Amino acid sequence: MSGRFAYRKRWGAEIAPSGEASFRLWAPAVSALSLVCGGSGALAMTAAADGWFELSTDRVKPDDTYAFQLPDGQRVPDPAARAQAGDVHGPSVLVEPRDYAWRTASWRGRPWEEVVVYELHTGLFSERGDFAGIEARLDHLVETGVTAVEVMPVAQFGGGRGWGYDGVLLYAPHRAYGGPDGLKALVDAAHERGVMVLLDVVYNHFGPEGNYLHLYAEDFFNAARETPWGVAIAYERQPVRDFFIDNALYWLEEYRLDGLRFDAINEIQDPSGEHVLEAIAKAVRARFPDRHVHLTTEDDRNITRLHPRDPSGQPLLYTAEWNDDFHHAAHVAATGESDGYYIDYAVDTVAGLARGLAEGFIFQGEKSHFWGDAPRGEPSAAQPPTAFVNFIQNHDQTGNRAFGERLTSLAPARAVEVLTAILLLSPQIPLLFMGEEWGETCPFCFFTDFHGELADAVREGRRREFGRFPAFADPAARESIPDPNAEATFRGSLLDWSALDSPQGRARYRLVQRLLAIRRAEIVPRLRDIAGAAGRAETTGRGVIGVRWRLGDGSGLHLAANLGKTAAPRSVTPPGRVLFETEAGLAQASQLPPWSVAVMLEES
């Protein structure tokens, strides 16, 4: 391997081996287009077929700035730029990706069954707030037992701080985080430690600040369709499809990422014969046949059709689905909350959680009260457990609360510990949210860096959202919700690493380490060939659940837990060697105390 990787995009700027740079922009709404080259003036671009404009020149060198100039004189950045000179409104930078020499060029990734995901936000994970800050803590993650870092979106968005889901330059790692070389250095350092890096990507909309596509390519959008963020993207148009297909391949090839998480795919509406999501997955599978590349989806519809397996059990399209059902049932069991979407999980909570552990989704076509009594979901029992990513905390479920409280602050410590054990010792792929390993209590709030009328609209819109909840029916109560644009909201969400050294922090951290060590030694080796219909659940109606999974080697994994507030009898005592129990002798006890769990392994 050369140790130098570049992906040739169909949009934007590329550098040929000769050193000449080529520029392509789809701009069907304008009659002429020019390239502005740093301080060298403007060069007329040539109109090509189907609304494309092209130019090759040796007047733009690596690290030079450039922009596209519209007929009215307005200059816009390259929507497929690899880097920006400043913010989203200014010129782009010509980047030579081969300038980065990879130390881990032969890395091929790790199998999916080995994955323990650790989701983090680059700006809040460390005091530095950049990719180097993550790199400095990689050894901590290795010691914890994490095998995959999942980074929230990094594509450049308006301002210097934000969740990342309002990106507008989808090929450019944000300058505030360290740009292209900073991200590559992080991935390289992670691979040196055997840690995968996954990236969250947002293909369902563009952010409200810095998106200029509508000025020269209004056909990039379809006004006949709407999303929660405005006019929908026209994925049925080939240049638009190419933009997103290339983006996925670009991150995986040029940055050597190990996978992508696709945000809210239920809002990716595509009337094409082949949905753009299928086209992306097929392109990825074809391009990287010799690497472990993992594609996960977030979709509140509870669908399985994007996650088929071949006869050997390998994913044909997407690898796994984020399982909100598991989170919601676990959250209701721990907190008793029933507002919003939690209302669907407030009845038969424990039975629902058992079903989710055994079969994947809880809602598999049943009516959802939150959805207006419409049916939600598809049968999922035939999926292998590893087709689901489970969690009890993540950025959405924490940050979309009015005050960003973590489960650690909302539920008794014992309940959180039992749910953590269930999460980490079940055959589904577990996800931890940054700081969860030591029981972080600082909030993770929603924050942005908008100004003027946009800042006002975001702040007031968020407060109106919570007006539906009884606790915020009073306008005065809504005023207490943190202003997303205030820097204090961002700073207050910064991880408190000192809490790791507190007695409570060390105790929780040792528990997580222990659980992940058990998972690594006893469960992961038996997951490789795990099949669909692997789980079977039972409940006693008094908070006690029992779940049994047939693992890939034929062995049986048994989980028995009491998620109630009082002791309760169990129906059967499962056989097997004890892997974990919250108290000595629990695995064989006929009564389970409140909030307790035991996990046993029955050898094949």
- The whole-angstrom distance between residue 221's C-alpha and the CA centroid of its chain comes to 25
The span from the CA of 379 to the CA of 365, in Å, is: 7
DSSP-derived secondary structure letter, 153: P
Query: Which residue of the set 200, 254, 298, 325 is catalytic?
Result: 298
Joined together, the tokens standing for residue 52 give 């494309």
| Integer CA distances (angstroms), 357 to 389, 417, 521, 537, 542, in order | 11, 17, 21, 8, 18
Look at residues 117, 95, 112, 267 and name the one whose alpha carbon lies nearest to residue 181: 95
What are the two backbone dihedrals, phi and then psi, of residue 97, each rounded to the nearest 5 degrees?
-65, -25
With both helix axes pointing from N to C terminus, report the angle between 276-287 and 238-254 in degrees, rounded to the nearest 10: 40
Joined together, the tokens standing for residue 491 give 């700073």
The span from the CA of 495 to the CA of 351, in Å, is: 35
Strand partners, 309: 315
Told to judge if 602 belongs to the known catalytic residues of this protein, a careful annotator would answer: no
Put the strands of the sheet holding 535-539 in their side by side order: 535-539, 544-550, 556-562, 596-602, 577-581
Buried b (16+ CB within 10 A) or exposed e, 137-170: bbeebeebbbbbbbbbbbbbbbbebbbbbbbbbb
Q: Helices in 194-236 by DSSP H: which ranges?
A: 213-216
Strand partners, 368: 374
Told to judge if 378 belongs to the known catalytic residues of this protein, a careful annotator would answer: no
Joined together, the tokens standing for residue 20 give 């000449």
Query: Which residue of the set 119, 253, 263, 267 is catalytic?
Result: 263
Joined together, the tokens standing for residue 178 give 């360290």
Contacts of 24 (CB under 8 A, 6+ apart): 10, 11, 12, 52, 53, 54
Q: Write the DSSP assignment of 172-203 as a string of letters.
A: EE-GGGTHHHHHHHHHHHHHHTT-EEEEEE--
Helix (H) or strand (E) holding 246: helix 238-254
Contacts of 301 (CB under 8 A, 6+ apart): 266, 376, 377
The span from the CA of 213 to the CA of 80, in Å, is: 11
Q: Helices in 336-431 by DSSP H: which ranges?
A: 349-359, 395-399, 407-410, 413-425
The span from the CA of 260 to the CA of 288, in Å, is: 13
3-state SS of 305-350 is: CCCCECCCCCECCCCEEECHHHHHHHHHHHHCCCCHHHHHHCCCHH
Q: Catalytic site residues?
A: 263, 298
